[in-house]
Amino acid sequence: MNKYFLLVGVTVRALAQAAARAGYAPCAIDGFADRDTLAACAGRALRLPMRGATPDWPRLDEAICDMRRHYARRGFAGAVAGGGLEACPELLDLLAEHAPPTNAAKAAVLAAATPARWFALLDEIGAPHPKVSLRDTPKGPGWLVKRAGGTGGLHVRPWRRGAARAPGDYFQQRAPGRPASALFLAADGEARIVGWQRPLVAPTAALPYRYGGVVCDDALPIRAKASIAAVIERLARRLPLRGLAGLDCLIDGEAVQVLELNPRPTASIALYPALNLFSLHLEACAGRLPDAPLLHDWRPCGEAVLYAATPLAVPADFRWPPHCADLPTGAAEFAPGEPVCSLRCSADSTQALLTKLQRRTMALSSKLEDTHDTESQRAGRAAGRLAVC
């Protein structure tokens, strides 16, 4: 049996590790090809140069051909799209030319990534969401501008009257509540909840909603969970969803407002290593769902992203703490705002986990800056720049 699976996204480390744990042979193409991805893929990982926060997608076809020529001469059993392809749905057609798609159908991706379709669908199924303005410039304060198909929070910023607006931008009114997400499996109009998460932000002045990681959430109200599960069931009946997907929401007490659908495996799959999620994803893509509910024993765990606050030059012999992931393969340089690595931990509660992640992130940031800075730079450095949680 051919066990080679092509994995493509901005970063596919968690997906590659899940595939390797399930006994498959992942072949990864993303914007990093970091140490962990290379290890999970037994070296079958290629890096597309990053253009800002996006891989050089025009080189994807060439990279897939190189991957097949050097590492998977028998071809691929399937192709799984990770995050970052939502804004370029034509890349799904390209993947399909090289391997059978093992994801939600393209129609589901287009529905989720096209604001007019997405919010019309939410209205049709009775799913509450923050007020949006797809064409007209909003009046008054309290609005955000979002880029259709964006990911990682980089496409969200506060709207200021007179600011430039790009094609694909739309407006959404700020709403109360904290972010939450649900990871689920879908097949043939049905869905199964895998777990509940809390997305984290690593804000800057220009990017207040920048992705900062994700943790398991053990404190969501029961009624809020029921409301989210009901929305997911309706979406599964209306869209050609297959396999793993995620729904992002805001929760204010027991009230829920829906934000975005990610019709593909999300970064939160890293939080459930005991569930064999890659195999469950393939089973769901083939139309088979596990019995509900999925039973698993876990304690709150999570990952936080460390971004460079200043220019960093990390030597090849730098001793990374054991709880780090997404590490460079050797010496590396990072410009301000670039992701450096991820940090993992677990705790007895979600709140304790957030505190622990914050502490570890700040400690590693200081250690890296001490490696790079001169004495005068260290003396003038402001403390507490990072705000992960």
The model's pLDDT over 22-70, given as tens digits with 9 standing for 90+, comes to 999 999 999 999 999 999 999 999 999 988 888 999 999 999 999 999 9
Burial of 206-242, coded b for 16+ CB within 10 Å and e otherwise, reads ebebbbbbbbbbbebeeebbebbbebbbbbbeebbbb
Give the integer Cα–Cα distance in Å for 280 and 22: 10
* Residues 147 and 94 both lie in one domain: no
Task: Give the pLDDT of residue 25.
Answer: 97
Tell me if the bond preceding 293 is cis, omega within 30° of 0: yes
Is pLDDT larger for residue 185 or for residue 205?
A: 185
* Residues 276 and 214 both lie in one domain: yes
Does 293 fall in a domain?
A: no
Region 183-187 average pLDDT? 97
pLDDT band for 156, please (50, 70, 90 cuts).
Answer: confident
The domain boundary residue, chosen from 251, 285, 319: 285
Distances (CA, A) of 202 to 121, 287, 326: 30, 37, 17
* Residues 159 and 219 both lie in one domain: yes
Is pLDDT larger for residue 87 or for residue 188?
A: 188
CATH number of the CATH domain containing 169: 3.30.470.20
Percent of the chain with pLDDT over 70: 95
At 239 the three-state DSSP class reads coil
* Residues 147 and 252 both lie in one domain: yes
Region 235-260 average pLDDT? 97
* Residues 114 and 89 both lie in one domain: no
Give the integer Cα–Cα distance in Å for 311 and 373: 9
* Residues 226 and 176 both lie in one domain: yes
The answer, yes or no, to whether residue 198 has pLDDT greater than 80, is: yes
Residue 343's Cβ-side half-sphere holds a number of Cα atoms within 13 Å equal to 24
Contact 40, 26 (CB under 8 A): yes
Residue 63's closest CA among 108, 94, 103? 94
* Residues 144 and 240 both lie in one domain: yes
The answer, yes or no, to whether residue 376 has pLDDT greater than 70, is: no
The domain boundary residue, chosen from 223, 251, 285: 285
The answer, yes or no, to whether residue 158 has pLDDT greater than 50, is: yes
Q: Could you give the number of structural domains in the chain?
A: 3
* Residues 181 and 318 both lie in one domain: no
> Rounded to the nearest 10 degrees, what angle do helices 90-98 and 60-70 cross at?
20
Q: What is the pLDDT of residues 129-145, one digit of tens each?
A: 999 999 888 888 889 98
Where in the sequence is the domain holding 117, given as residue range(s)?
A: 109-285
* Residues 51 and 197 both lie in one domain: no
Could you give the maximum distance between any two Cα atoms of the chain, in Å? 62
* Residues 92 and 117 both lie in one domain: no
Is pLDDT larger for residue 67 or for residue 2?
A: 67
Task: Give the pLDDT of residue 298.
Answer: 72
Residue 12's Cβ-side half-sphere holds a number of Cα atoms within 13 Å equal to 33
The domain boundary residue, chosen from 285, 313, 339: 285
Q: Where are the beta strands (DSSP E) in 159-242?
A: 169-173, 178-187, 190-201, 211-216
pLDDT band for 375, please (50, 70, 90 cuts).
Answer: very low
* Residues 228 and 81 both lie in one domain: no
Residue 142's closest CA among 127, 120, 158? 158
Give the integer Cα–Cα distance in Å for 55 and 35: 18
* Residues 85 and 113 both lie in one domain: no
Does 375 fall in a domain?
A: yes
Region 217-240 average pLDDT? 95
Does 169 fall in a domain?
A: yes
Region 313-337 average pLDDT? 94
Region 208-218 average pLDDT? 91
